[in-house]
Chain A
Amino acid sequence: MNEYVIETKHLTKTYGSLLALNHVNLHVKKGSIYGLIGDNGAGKSTLLKLMAGQIFPSDGEIRIFGKQKQKELENTRRNIGCMIEQPEFFPNMTVEKTLKYYSIQKGVPDTKKVEEMMDLTGVAGKRNCACKTLSLGQRQRLGLAVALLGAPQLLILDEPINGLDPSGILEFRSLLHRLNEEQNITILLSSHILSELQQTASFYGFLSKGQLIEEITADDLTNKCSDCVEITLSDIERYAAVFEAAFPAESWKILPDNKIRIYMPKQNPESYSRLAAEHKIYITAMQTIHSSLEDYYVQLKERGTTK
């Protein structure tokens, strides 16, 4: 049986002459929380809309739960809950009626589900409020409630924490973990708030300019992010030149204030100080930094640009 809930092959989407997605090969494992990372306009929403069937690919394949044909995909989407872009609802309909409307549409016979979803997502207190009176955060919660109706096996969420207050973000994070762990729901979510994704996802996909530049597990990412050496030197340009020659395999970057940062160092830090001493360059400070997902993403993007 296929281990991937979502798999794309050379998925491409163009809007006229604009290439929004370029040969994307995405792999979302069953039971994972997959975080899609990318700048605005990187193609995150386009990719998620393709998964939700809201737009059609220009080229390439989409497999969801192993199904590929359009008719099969349409049937498969009944097992998916989606919240793409800002959730919008009928402005004059109340929260409760909106959920009832979608529960009928999804063929959920149990009316208790509506109550359950309102309690779960924290919109029960607003049940009789018209949707037009809801704040962005409340609409996000209602969007999630709609997505969760019908017991989906896969959740696709686009920027789900936009507009949520800090306590809402905490609740949302724990809810996602609970859904993932207790109900084994696979979750594909996008965000540009990387610190949030770092606390949620178990897999990451980095999108840049329509290309999926890397897919990585959270464990691998932690390993890759763990070692980062930052050295402050008396002559940064000379050191950079000798460093490049001595350690061509290292990944590094010059920072302001005569600093150099070496990502995932392959050498012992002593080697770097010895090199400086050999060339009569003084080290004024040296420290090991635990780099964040942001650092990794920036580095990855730069590598992608220089390629």
Chain B
Amino acid sequence: MRNYIKSELYRIFHTSEIYLITGTLTALSVLFNLGVGLIKTRYSNISFSYSCLVANPMIFACAGAIIAYFLYEGNKRNGSYKNAVACGISRIKIFTGKCIVAASVSTAVMTITLAAWIISAGLLLKKSGPVHLNDLLFEVAAVYLIAIACMISGILCLECFEKNISGILMWGAIWFFIPKMIFLLGMHFQFLLPAALWFPCNLFTIVNGQHVNTQECITAWNTLEGMLKCLISGFTGTVLFTLSGILLLRKKDL
């Protein structure tokens, strides 16, 4: 598996895509803050900039999955999966290797992007409002495992389906459609509601106490209980999707 991971890292850092993604995300971060700074409104402050991320933690989860998609969407088309199997690398090692590589690369890309966001906000916007850097940094800690789970499920969906679009739809269903359906059912059948609130896309809603705007910043992770809930949800998802990948891909024909 070590050789597989090394080869994948070689590939990623010796092709232009990863630099293009990182550059684009970094540029967008800076441009966003520049735009907010140039348009002089009551939102032209650091708090508003941070709140865009703090109020929408699923952005991080989706970003992880999007980077994984860019890294592995052409996997079947360019024959690398088949060649790796023919080299004697087991499907489980390939899947695990991909998850490790995607997690490391996504973490690096998101660190750079986030740094660009924070630095550009600090340089271009004035300091006021209820959302602080601490809220953003704690959000990263709370959401990290959820983003990893999101990314692993993304890789799994791409591997399981012949067509990428089917994988994307399934991924969307797992992370958004099904949890929202359970949540809506939970409104009518109360016994479903506690379970529904463990799904990440419901976890960061007003029902779970999250309330971020220009006046206040109450996040789902600003209590110990809330933070634990985020971590447990992310950890469970990571374990669940990793095991599912191992089980589903172990004997899959290519």
Contacts and interface: CB of A to CB of B under 8 A. Distances in A.
A268 interface: no
Among A90, A93, A105, the most chain B Cβ lie within 10 Å of the Cβ of: A105
Interface in B60-78: 74, 77-78
Contacts of A76: 88
* Secondary structure class of chain A's binding surface, majority of residues: mixed
A128 to B, nearest CB: 13
Contact of B10 (A54, A56, A78, A104): A104
B85 interface: yes
A56 B250 CA distance: 10
Given A56-B253, A87-B79, A89-B79, A75 B88 contact: yes
Contact of B7 (A71, A75, A92, A104): A104
A265 to B, nearest CB: 45
Given A88-B79, A104-B7, A78 B84 contact: no
A91 to B, nearest CB: 7
B217 to A, nearest CB: 43
A117 interface: no
Interface in A142-163: 146, 150, 156
B3 A104 contact: yes
Contacts of A238: none
Given A88-B79, A93-B14, A105-B7, A52 B251 contact: no
Contacts of A49: 254
B6 A54 contact: no
Contacts of A100: 10, 14
B11 A52 contact: no
B77 A105 contact: no
Contacts of B85: 52-54, 77
B86 A54 contact: yes
Q: How large is the interface on A (under 10, 10 to 19, 20 to 34, 35 or more residues)?
A: 20 to 34
A90 B15 contact: yes
Contacts of A106: 3, 87
A74 B86 contact: no
B159 to A, nearest CB: 14
A23 interface: no
Nearest to A105: B7
A56 B251 contact: yes
Contacts of B10: 97, 100-101, 104
B134 interface: no
A82 interface: yes
A41 interface: no
B89 interface: yes
A82 B86 contact: yes
Given A54-B85, A77-B88, A88 B7 contact: no
Contacts of A93: 11, 14-15
A55 interface: yes
Interface in B71-128: 74, 77-80, 82-90
B162 interface: no
B232 to A, nearest CB: 34
14 contacts: A52-B82, A53-B86, A54-B82, A54-B86, A54-B254, A75-B88, A77-B88, A80-B88, A88-B77, A92-B17, A97-B15, A100-B10, A102-B83, A106-B3
